[in-house]
Amino acid sequence: MDAAYSFARNFADTKYENLPPKVVEATKKEILDLLGVALGGASQPGATHVCELVKEWGGKEESSLIGSKQKVPAPNAAQANATMAHSLDFDDVHEAAVMHPGIASIPVALAVGEAQGNLSGRELITNTALGVDMMCRLALATTPGKSPVDLGWHLTSLFGFMGSAATAARVLRLDEEKIVHAIGIGYHQCGGNGQCVKDGALTKRLGPGFAVKGGITAALMAKAGVTGARNTFEGEWGFYRQYAHGDYSREILLADLGKRFEGINVAIKPYPCCRGVHPAIDAALALTAEENIRSKDIKEIVLSVTDAHLQLLCRPLEAKCSPRSPVDAQFSIPWGVASAIVGGRVGLNDYTDSAIKNPAVLEVTQKMRVEVDNSLHKPGPEPTRVKIITHDGNEFVKVEDNPLGSLERPMSFDDCARKFRDCARSLDSKRAEKIIELIGHLERLDDISEIIHLLT
């Protein structure tokens, strides 16, 4: 039987009480984190365009737009909110799966839950944990032993259609058979290419929004009786054959389903850029602090990266050193390293339209040389060797294998709260602190509408 049935049964049968305590705590951090980055991304290009469109479309007033009093149909609200949350490239990431899992479940559960009414904190946690787990498993099972990025898909968007369909179907309380159809209808819409990263296009930010809108639509269609493919993942023309040339692992996809949840392996980002840039940022921050290096002392910087990071995060080198847009900067190891050296920290202000014109940072990026060293390859975010050569001939080298936010150096709930405050500057402090408090005790909340009210 196709894996779609296993996932559907897991979504239909799993209860909050089945979740291990570590999964509950990890999920609450993901929810707080996503709401924060959505508030921070609400004013970003791409997000503002989508929000204005859905406001113009109008329609049934059932689900809230974050940062707005206006309500719109649930699929449109989830699309706008997911676009906000992905606009800063600051949302959670599963390092081994190379994708952002929370964005395909949290905006969905919030929008559909608000439309349905009376969604409890426990149900929000359970829906999120299941959606995150499915998203991670779909990616981890793809081209095992090789990077799925090489297929050319934007994996978050691609898997998001099916993951969000299953999440929405559970919120709608559909049975196993209809969840299978929802997943199949989601599969019929799957898309999301990596070319937008290569071209520095705003569609990189929009992909998850398309996915969650499609996923909710799929679940609503399944509820109405529309049928979708049943053999979505392993059929003759199923997902893994059509999108991954048949290269997948059924064992990875389904092992310990319902008992082991990949949410405990999801990293919360400390920096608003591609997770692959983070090891280089940490190495640069450590080097400059330990050796008291200033940008004026630097003659040359040599960045050693794997082939995968060379293609995604260092080419075309001109665009990565002199970004054409904030998206270029978000996917640039040279930009992240230079920002760390110049500012002594890396934050939201380093990835704006004005920031990418900062002459001090651009001066440092022009001193960079990139070389390939595939011995650096490892699961998760591959490290970058940062070598700084100073004008007086000294060389300083650093490799950070476990960047901040990794499983070895995890972000605590308090760390996530600090990040939330930094992102949620549009809220008054009392609202922000109340949201942090409510999510800290989310399992005690009978209705999530109080959180939604605070966000609008």
What are the pLDDT digits (tens) for 426-435? 899 999 999 9
Give residue 342's pLDDT.
Answer: 97
Query: For residue 380, is pLDDT > 80?
Result: no
330-339 pLDDT tens trace = 999 999 999 9
Query: For residue 199, is pLDDT > 90?
Result: no
Give residue 447's pLDDT.
Answer: 94
Structure tokens at 412: 């605590």
- Please report whether residue 334 resides in a domain: yes
Check whether residue 22 and residue 52 sit in a common domain: yes
Question: Under a CB-based contact definition with an 8 Å cutoff, are residues 223 and 175 in contact?
Answer: no
**Nearest-10 crossing angle of helices 21-41, 106-116:** 90
Check whether residue 236 and residue 281 sit in a common domain: no
Query: For residue 18, is pLDDT > 80?
Result: yes
- Please report whether residue 238 resides in a domain: yes
- Please report whether residue 53 resides in a domain: yes
The H or E element containing residue 354 is none
Check whether residue 303 and residue 241 sit in a common domain: no
Which residues, in sequence order, are CB contacts of 388 under 8 Å at separation 6+? 287, 288, 291, 293, 298, 300, 301, 395, 396, 397
Average confidence (pLDDT) over 375-400: 92
Query: For residue 141, is pLDDT > 90?
Result: yes
Question: Under a CB-based contact definition with an 8 Å cutoff, are residues 268 and 416 in contact?
Answer: yes
Give exposure, 253-290, as e/b (b: 16+ Cβ within 10 Å).
bbeebbeebbbbbbbbbbbbbbbbbbbbbbbbbbbbee
Query: For residue 198, is pLDDT > 90?
Result: no
Q: Quickly list DSSP for 140-175.
A: HTBSTTS-GGGG-B-HHHHHHHHHHHHHHHHHTT--
Check whether residue 237 and residue 284 sit in a common domain: no
Question: Under a CB-based contact definition with an 8 Å cutoff, are residues 178 and 170 in contact?
Answer: no
Give residue 200's pLDDT.
Answer: 82
Check whether residue 209 and residue 316 sit in a common domain: no
Average confidence (pLDDT) over 226-254: 97
Give residue 185's pLDDT.
Answer: 98
Average confidence (pLDDT) over 178-192: 97
Check whether residue 122 and residue 145 sit in a common domain: yes
Residue closest to 164 by CA, chosen among 229, 225, 121, 210: 210
Query: For residue 95, is pLDDT > 90?
Result: no
- Please report whether residue 263 resides in a domain: yes
Higher pLDDT, 175 or 98: 175
- Please report whether residue 225 resides in a domain: yes
Which residues, in sequence order, are CB contacts of 192 under 8 Å at separation 6+? 153, 154, 155, 156, 157, 158, 160, 207, 210, 211
Confidence tier at 252 by pLDDT (50, 70, 90): very high
CA atoms within 13 A of residue 136's CA, in its CB half-sphere = 24
- Alpha-carbon gap, residue 293 to 283, rounded angstroms: 13
Structure tokens at 290: 């330990």
Give residue 244's pLDDT.
Answer: 95
Give residue 149's pLDDT.
Answer: 82
Give residue 379's pLDDT.
Answer: 76
- Alpha-carbon gap, residue 104 to 106, rounded angstroms: 6
Tokens 């389904």 correspond to 254
Check whether residue 31 and residue 174 sit in a common domain: yes
Average confidence (pLDDT) over 11-34: 97
Percent of the chain predicted with pLDDT > 90:
88
Check whether residue 127 and residue 202 sit in a common domain: yes
- Alpha-carbon gap, residue 58 to 232, rounded angstroms: 33
Check whether residue 297 and residue 258 sit in a common domain: no
Out of 371, 399, 427, a domain closes at 399
Check whether residue 311 and residue 177 sit in a common domain: no
* Average pLDDT along the chain: 95
Query: For residue 381, is pLDDT > 80?
Result: no
Average confidence (pLDDT) over 187-215: 93
Check whether residue 266 and residue 294 sit in a common domain: no
Number of Cβ within 10 Å of residue 208's Cβ equals 31
Residue closest to 99 by CA, chosen among 110, 89, 88: 89
The domain total for the chain is 2
Structural domain containing residue 184: 3-270+411-455
* CATH code (residue 157): 1.10.4100.10
Query: For residue 197, is pLDDT > 90?
Result: no
Helix (H, G, I), strand (E, B) or coil at 397: strand
- Please report whether residue 405 resides in a domain: no
Peptide bond into 316 cis (omega under 30): yes
Question: Under a CB-based contact definition with an 8 Å cutoff, are residues 376 and 382 in contact?
Answer: yes
Query: For residue 150, is pLDDT > 90?
Result: no
- Please report whether residue 163 resides in a domain: yes
- Alpha-carbon gap, residue 225 to 178, rounded angstroms: 8
Q: What is the pTM of this model?
A: 0.87
Average confidence (pLDDT) over 59-65: 97
- Please report whether residue 373 resides in a domain: yes
Check whether residue 340 and residue 384 sit in a common domain: yes
